Amino acid sequence: MRARALAFAALAVAACSVDIATPPIDKPARVERGAMTPDCFVAALLERNLFFVGAGRDEPGVAPADVSARSLYFYGALPGATCASCADPACVAGGVHCDGSDGVACPWWACWQDPTLPPGRHVQTFLDEAGDDHDVAFVSYDMWSSVIASEDHERMLTALREPYYIARWGEDLRFFLRLAAKRPNRRVILHLEPRLWGIAQQTTYAPERIYFDTRAIDGNECDNVQQNLAGLLECVVLIARKDAPNVVIGLPVVPWGYEEDAFTTTREGFDVDEHVAQSLGWLAKLGAGAQPDLLVVELAHGDAGATGEALWEESGLDAPSFERTMRWVRAVGGALHQSVVLWRAPFGHMQLDDTCGRYRDNREDWLFDHVPTLREDGVVGVVFEAAGECMTRPATDDGHFVARSRAFLAGEPPLLCDPAALAP
């Protein structure tokens, strides 16, 4: 199980009929994209017109005032019986009693809290904190493999055909959305299924050929969407618009979906522009330009010193470099008319010694040093995250990340949009 700093274990099941009924909520009016630029649209959705830098909500060594966004990562086991209360002895997930009687944390995300509180209360607390202290709440919702209890890539796609799993997934999605809707004035970016879309892209050039039974989802929002992967994306957007207009849908876009990783490959003759063209062809069929509110691009798999990947050079297209990465990001976001959040930026820096928790990397410093470049390339924020147990973290980096983030916030974070364009 991942440490709490990385994972708030996810996934309620349809059988887990948590009482999430609420009095009527005065939901905020949804901002329409209209003729706004992508960045202005995101600024209007978030009600925040500043570039943001984030880290995990419970990341040791990072205080709320040190960043302008905080993130959660949902992943984990499923309850196998009705869980009206975490304290109910019948509420068991992954063989663990969620009332804490086993001496270990319950792997269902809604019970990672005092079990006497209503399930999911910590999510609402998180949203309250985001609104009060650092404005942007960012939730990575990586639950599909847990619904089907399999990490096998082929199984992750074939299970989309099975109504039983779709119903469980849809119930859990609605549970999260309705929790978020209880805080209608708090905006949250929902980073939806970080791995599923890239795995699908690796499997087929035609997302429309991956069947998805939208009819299995409770409610009628998805009755008229396509029964395929593009329909899945549209279905999620429709449900979110109805249940939680304050939720901003972020579609994961990965550089490793087409043949090889555009950011890290060292293959001689690699053509980044061809990679962009092939990636865009798949994303366009998925509806990536029309359905989500923004794109979330996975930047790294961990610190370079730990993964063995080459350190990125400043420029050049023939080897891993910042120029090549941003060329890919700029081209994909620009073609789809979407703003981009960079996710999973590593915490490593070059003054470390390549030991557990202290691996070197040069991306953190480059990102902080080149925020104007990021803005020019359509990036509206960066979320830092350690991608594994032994990766560099703020608690082990000699205070480097916190110092850089505090200096950034103490300066003048760039605007996302001309304020005049946001005037009513």
Closest CA to 135 of 56, 63, 217, 46: 46
| CA dist list (Å): 350 to 68, 230, 305, 404 | 24, 42, 9, 14
| Residue range 205-261, pLDDT digits in tens | 889 899 988 888 888 888 889 999 999 999 999 999 999 999 999 999 999 999 999
Cα 237 to chain center, whole Å? 15
Distance CA 339, CA 374 (A): 11
| Residue range 405-418, pLDDT digits in tens | 999 999 989 999 99
pLDDT, residue 133, reads 52
Across 265-282, average pLDDT: 95
| CA dist list (Å): 153 to 69, 173, 232, 368 | 31, 21, 17, 35
Closest CA to 14 of 86, 79, 108: 79
Lowest mean pLDDT among 25-39, 87-101, 232-246, 401-415: 25-39
* 219 or 81, which is more confident: 219
pLDDT band at 82 (very low <50, low <70, confident <90, very high): low
Residue 180 has pLDDT above 50, yes or no: yes
């080897």: which residue's tokens? 319
pLDDT, residue 15, reads 36
pLDDT band at 81 (very low <50, low <70, confident <90, very high): low
Across 120-145, average pLDDT: 84
């366009």: which residue's tokens? 284
> Residue 84 — left, alpha, or beta (φ > 0 → left; ψ -120 to 50 → alpha)?
alpha
Residue 301 has pLDDT above 80, yes or no: yes
Cα 68 to chain center, whole Å? 16
Measured in residues, the chain has a length of: 424
Model confidence, pTM: 0.91
Distance CA 295, CA 293 (A): 7
pLDDT band at 16 (very low <50, low <70, confident <90, very high): very low
Distance CA 93, CA 108 (A): 6
CB 146 within 8 A of CB 76: yes
Residue 6 has pLDDT above 50, yes or no: no
pLDDT, residue 17, reads 40
Q: Which domains, ranges and CATH numbers included, belong to the chain?
A: 38-418 (3.20.20.80)
pLDDT, residue 377, reads 97
